[in-house]
Amino acid sequence: MGGPGDPPEGPREGAPGGGEDEYRSVVFDESFVRAARLQEFSAQERIGDHAPAVRRRPPLRRGLSRQAVILVLLIAVAFGTAIYMGVRHPYQTPAAQPTDPLRMTVIPLAPQAPVPGSTNPENLYAHSPAAQFRVGAEGITMPATRRTAHFSDSQVVTALSTAKDYLVASALAPEVLNGTSVRPARMLLDPQQLDQFDESFDRPTADGRHAPTGWLVRFDPSRAELADTKVRVQGTLQAAEYDSRTLEVTAEHTLVYALRPADSEDKAKASLFTVRRELHFRFDTDDLRTHQAELVVSYVQAGPLACADDSTNHLRPLLAGQTAKEGGPAGTDPFATGGATALCGSLAQSAQPKV
């Protein structure tokens, strides 16, 4: 039997047999070639069943590809959505609520007898209801604080601290008391109240809105000055929610000043002057952040004063030995709109020092 490389009719005569021929696997004789079956495809078969030997490259497309166009459209849609949501999104911060104007009431208290006096202010304090009062800002004590439904403990503390700062600036600062400056109190007010504040000092009016003595305590510098800078103070501070966006602080304090005639000698007799203030402050989140307050109510009782004197711009105290002038407060015209009723009270003898 012939080997795998032998022609169909067997090996050639005389050819070396078996594995002696090293070229036997690659060299074929004429009989092997003739026996091979050849097939040639027709032109139709070559066109239909067989791909051409060389692939044609697809024509080069000009312009942006489909993927690039889609990417550009997606970017444009995202950008437009961001702009729309920035202008119309439903979670925008609500516009700031307009600030209520300060409503104020200043009531002079007229003495029933000559005003007691002494050359020693300490002696006056010791024999008055203010004997146990603390001095200055120490008398404005901070209450125990706790968070509310919508405000944290730190926010409540901030509101109380700002209210205390306003009390010190508006009733204890020497430059405010002598009428030379209003800036310490002004700096602590909500910016929306500054127009009302400035108008009050530019054009003081007893209309319940524009009396400087409703904003702060200041004495007529031509009439009186401090005989002792150690003002006695006692009162309370309370904080509570006014609504879900507003804290309200109520301050009720009694302040007692030792006064003497302006430009007098140190040996001149001093007298005590008492101011009772009830102030209502409101704070929104912006006020808490900027350490400012909205003052909405100011109720002041002060004496000894004469009912006939105008207490709108400055307090004009009755000093040691003086008595109230005859006459009541300025008349009230019920036909005038926008005005406030003129009020005056009587200062009880128990409120005066026993000297």
DSSP letter, residue 205 = B
- Please give the share of the chain, as a percent, with pLDDT higher than 70: 74
Number of alpha carbons in the 13 Å side-chain half-sphere of residue 211: 24
Check pLDDT > 90 for residue 10. no
Lowest-pLDDT range of 64-73, 268-277, 297-306? 64-73
Check pLDDT > 50 for residue 50. yes
Q: What angle do CA 149, 155, 160 make, to 5 degrees?
A: 110
- Name the average pLDDT for the chain: 84
288 and 305 in contact (C-beta within 8 Å)?
no
Work out the pLDDT band at 341, boundaries 50, 70, 90. Answer: confident
Give me the pLDDT at residue 94, please.
47
Q: Which of 111, 96, 170 is nearest to 325 (CA)?
A: 111
In Å, what is the CA distance from 305 to each residue of 113, 136, 329? 12, 23, 11
Task: Answer with the residue of higher pLDDT: 146 or 326.
Answer: 146
Alpha carbons 273 and 289: distance in angstroms, whole number: 36
Q: What is the pTM of this model?
A: 0.72
Alpha carbons 17 and 234: distance in angstroms, whole number: 135
314 and 274 in contact (C-beta within 8 Å)?
no
Q: What region does 36 belong to: left with phi over 0, alpha with psi -120 to 50, or beta?
A: beta
Give me the pLDDT at residue 253, please.
98
Q: What angle do CA 265, 267, 273 make, to 5 degrees?
A: 90
Give all strands (DSSP E) within the chain, no chain letters. Answer: 103-111, 134-135, 224-243, 246-261, 271-283, 294-303, 345-347
Q: For the chain, state the CA radius of gyration.
A: 50
Alpha carbons 213 and 195: distance in angstroms, whole number: 16
Alpha helix ranges (H) inside 36-133: 43-49, 66-88, 121-126
315 and 217 in contact (C-beta within 8 Å)?
yes
Check pLDDT > 80 for residue 1. no
Task: Answer with the residue of higher pLDDT: 308 or 188.
Answer: 188
Which range has the top average pLDDT, 54-58, 82-86, 291-295, 323-327? 291-295
In Å, what is the CA distance from 214 to each residue of 50, 61, 209, 309? 106, 83, 8, 16
Tokens standing for 199?
């108008």
Give me the pLDDT at residue 100, please.
81
